[in-house]
Amino acid sequence: MNKTILCIGAGYVGGPTMAVIADNCPDYKVIVVDINAERIAAWQSDTLPIYEPGLQEVVERARGRNLFFSTDIIAGIKEADIIFVSVNTPTKTFGEGAGKAANLQYWEKTARDIIEHAESDKIVIEKSTLPVRTAEAMHRILQSNTKGLNFDIISNPEFMAEGTAVDDLEKPGRVLIGAMEDESGQKALETVANIYRNWVPEEKIKKTNVWSSELTKLVSNAMLAQRISSVNSISALCEKTDANILEVSSAMGMDPRIGSKFLNASVGFGGSCFKKDILNLVYLCEFHGLPEVAAYWEQVVLMNDYQEERFVRNISNHMFNTVAGKKIAIFGFAFKADTGDTRESPAIHVSKLLLEERAVLAIHDPQALKYAKLDLADYEGDISYETDPYKAAEGAHAIAILTEWKEFRDLDFEKLYASMEKPAFIFDGRNLLDHQKVFEIGFNVYPLGQKALSHL
Ligand code: UDX
Ligand code: UDX
């Protein structure tokens, strides 16, 4: 077996993962290919296609040494014996399972490219998040080759989060590798484990069967999202009872069985993975005749929609039951802080609902304005995009905080207040601000899951 690794798909997952592998494994040659030539050119340039702290340095250390980016998928397939596949698997928009199931067409096309061009045995690794038992179908397709070649299929899902990708890859909580239980599968598992052994301690390498590995990825995201939906549901009850969600979360999180992380109430969770993966899980449960299990997990997504809708209803209710013609400054459009990514951002849904109520929106975000414009391009209404938060708030009736950017805390709220219409409102969808302080300036403040601070 030669030591050349190919990765098909140079996206958020493939790019950083391969850069960290190349950086830590100087004995391996790592080639990353993509059908998108623009993206490959960006990986070869000083302006990488994605921003992640520390990524530029990692790429620069390895690029040209043992890390290469290319559009030549065929040459890559011929050269490498180990092939990671991290093409995207979006939610299906057509046919059976539309809106829930994963669209596997890119994956299948990639498998077919591999059999067409392979000249030697390969290990094919699922890096993309896939429905459980995809490996079975892929294995059948790969083994249908008429060249007498052997293909082992391995599941090795990625758990990194955006904004901390390099750290998560360098010090992973676990590296999960799932393989078929036959001799060939187990040998392939060891080959893949040997890559990670270059920098990951043995006890962090978790070996399972291939189905457990595929399912673990979906369930890990579903469990994380479920924590947020659970806390968000309780934030609604807190607002009715004068309990405080911050106190409830922190007191509850002191139980080590519950744990303190991922318990921050918010306007809703976003990102490219949570919703997609839960809906995929729901579809799988339906497919396998488990409607109760499907309904249980679907509720996590429905609760997220509810939280976003509830946030908008609160805005309208507190602003005298109408936002029509009122300017609302949206502070934060990214799905979380420290990223320019807006995929499935709660800000999209919230903006859409506010526009339906005929509010006038001025959107400010330190990183995400480019994508915000694209996300709202098809919506009708009065929308402006401001790089200057003070400009966004000028003449506004309210500020709605939708992303937990730290810099929002340091804004001059006296200045913001002075330029706004009165009464001025703040709706803090991330419980980010010092609410007492802004209340004393004159704002009517509506945090999440906490008592409102109102002068009215
Ligand atoms: C990945 C996984 O693939 C997805 O299943 C997981 O849930 C999230 O992470 P991500 O890296 O975020 O997706 O996707 P994206 O940034 O869209 O990158 C995928 C890349 O694959 C794109 O650059 C696309 O051009 C490329 N691609 C797609 C191919 O090279 N060939 C194809 O046939 C299809
Ligand atoms: C997630 C998983 O964390 C990662 O393991 C997986 O590989 C990909 O999906 P990511 O989408 O980058 O990563 O973001 P994450 O940090 O998990 O946040 C997801 C969403 O939940 C964000 O919108 C965030 O603001 C929200 N969130 C997170 C909350 O609302 N409250 C919390 O307590 C934590």
Residue 369 to residue 109: CA distance in whole angstroms: 34
**How many angstroms does the Cα of residue 262 sit away from the middle of ligand 2?**
8
Nearest ligand 2 atom to alpha carbon 345: 23
| Pairwise CA distance, residues 49 & 66, whole Å | 20
Ligand nearest to the CA of 160: 2
Alpha-helix residue ranges (DSSP H) falling in 242-260: 245-253
Residue 274 CA to ligand 2 centre (angstroms): 8
| Distance from the alpha carbon of residue 271 to the mean position of ligand 2, in angstroms | 7
288's CB contacts (< 8 A; 6+ apart) are none
- Is 273 annotated as catalytic? yes
Asked if 393 and 419 touch (Cβ cutoff 8 Å), the reply is yes
* Longest Cα separation, the chain: 78
Residue nearest to atom 21 of ligand 2 (CA): 269
From the CA of 16, which ligand is nearest?
1
User: Alpha helices, DSSP H only, in 198-336?
Assistant: 210-241, 245-253, 274-287, 291-318
Query: In the prediction, which pLDDT does 101 show?
Result: 86
Question: Using a 6 Å cutoff on CB, does residue 249 contact ligand 2?
Answer: no
Q: What separation in Å is there between the alpha carbon of 13 and the centre of ligand 1?
A: 7
Residues 299 and 330 sit within 8 Å (Cβ to Cβ)? no
Distance 239 CA to ligand 1 centre (A): 41
Q: Which ligand is nearest to the CA of 12?
A: 1
How far apart CA 423 and CA 417 sit, in angstroms, is 10
The residue among 144, 134, 67 whose CA lies nearest residue 104 is 134
Q: Which ligand 1 atom sits closest to the C-alpha of 88? A: 3
Q: Report the pLDDT value the prediction gives residue 128, as an integer from 0 to 100.
A: 87
pLDDT in tens, the chain (456 residues): 569 999 999 999 999 999 999 999 999 999 999 999 999 999 999 999 988 999 999 999 999 999 999 999 999 999 999 999 999 988 889 998 899 888 899 999 999 999 999 999 999 999 988 888 888 988 999 999 999 999 999 999 999 999 899 999 999 999 999 999 999 999 999 999 999 999 999 999 999 999 999 999 999 999 999 999 999 999 999 999 999 999 999 999 999 999 999 999 999 999 999 999 999 999 999 999 999 999 999 999 999 999 999 999 999 999 999 999 999 999 999 999 988 899 999 999 999 999 999 999 999 999 999 999 999 999 999 999 999 999 999 999 999 999 999 999 999 999 999 999 999 999 999 999 999 999 999 999 999 999 999 999
Q: Are 366 and 404 a contacting pair, CB within 8 Å? A: no
pLDDT of residue 58: 98
C-alpha 163 to ligand 2 mean position (Å): 10
Contact residues of ligand 1, CB 6 A cut-off: 8-14, 34-36, 39, 86-89, 106, 109-110, 128-129, 272-273
Among 384, 342, 379, 344, smallest CA distance to 360 is for 384
Report which ligand 1 atom has the smallest distance to the Cα of 87. Answer: 21
Q: How far apart are CA 299 and CA 454, in angstroms?
A: 33
In terms of pTM, does the model score above 0.85?
yes
The Cα 71–Cα 91 span in angstroms is 25
Ligand 2 binding pocket includes 169 (Cβ within 6 Å): no
The closest alpha carbon to 330, from 301, 366, 380, 374, belongs to 366
Cβ neighbourhood burial of 180 (10 Å; 0-12, 13-18, 19+): buried
Q: For residue 310, give both structure tokens.
A: 């509830």
- Determine the Cα–Cα distance for residues 180 and 205; give it in Å rounded to an integer: 16
Helix (H) or strand (E) holding 37: helix 37-44
- Spatial separation of the C-alpha atoms in residues 428 and 311, rounded to whole Å: 9
Of 273, 275, 344, best ligand 2 pocket probe by most atoms within 8 Å of the beta carbon: 273
What is the arrangement of strands in the sheet containing 151-155, beginning at the earlier edge strand? 67-70, 29-33, 4-8, 82-85, 122-126, 151-155, 175-179, 205-209
Cβ-in-10-Å burial (0-12, 13-18, 19+) of 60 comes to middle
Tell which atom from ligand 1 comes closest to the C-alpha of 102. Answer: 5
Atom of ligand 1 nearest to the CA of 39: 23
Q: How far apart are CA 451 and CA 205, in angstroms?
A: 46
Taking CA atoms only, the protein residue closest to ligand 2 atom 14 is 161
Distance CA 193, CA 199 (A): 11
Q: Of 354, 269, 358, 265, which is closest to residue 305 (Cα–Cα)?
A: 269
Q: Which of 7, 25, 238, 273 is catalytic?
A: 273
Whether the CB-CB separation of 24 and 198 falls below 8 Å is answered with yes
CA dihedral angle for residue 130, residue 133, residue 134, residue 135, rounded to 10 degrees: 110
Residue 221 near residue 278 (C-beta atoms within 8 A): yes
DSSP letter, residue 82: E
CB of residue 263 inside a 6 A radius of ligand 2: yes
Q: Please tell me the distance between residue 127's alpha carbon and the centre of ligand 2 in angstroms.
A: 19
Would you state the pLDDT for residue 2? 67
Q: What residue's CA is closest to ligand 2, atom 1?
A: 161
pLDDT at 91 (0 to 100): 87
Q: Are 232 and 307 in contact (CB under 8 A)?
A: yes
For atom 31 of ligand 2, the residue with the nearest CA is 264
The number of the ligand 1 atom at minimal distance from the alpha carbon of 35 is 30
Q: How many residues does the chain have?
A: 456
Nearest CA to ligand 2 atom 13: 161
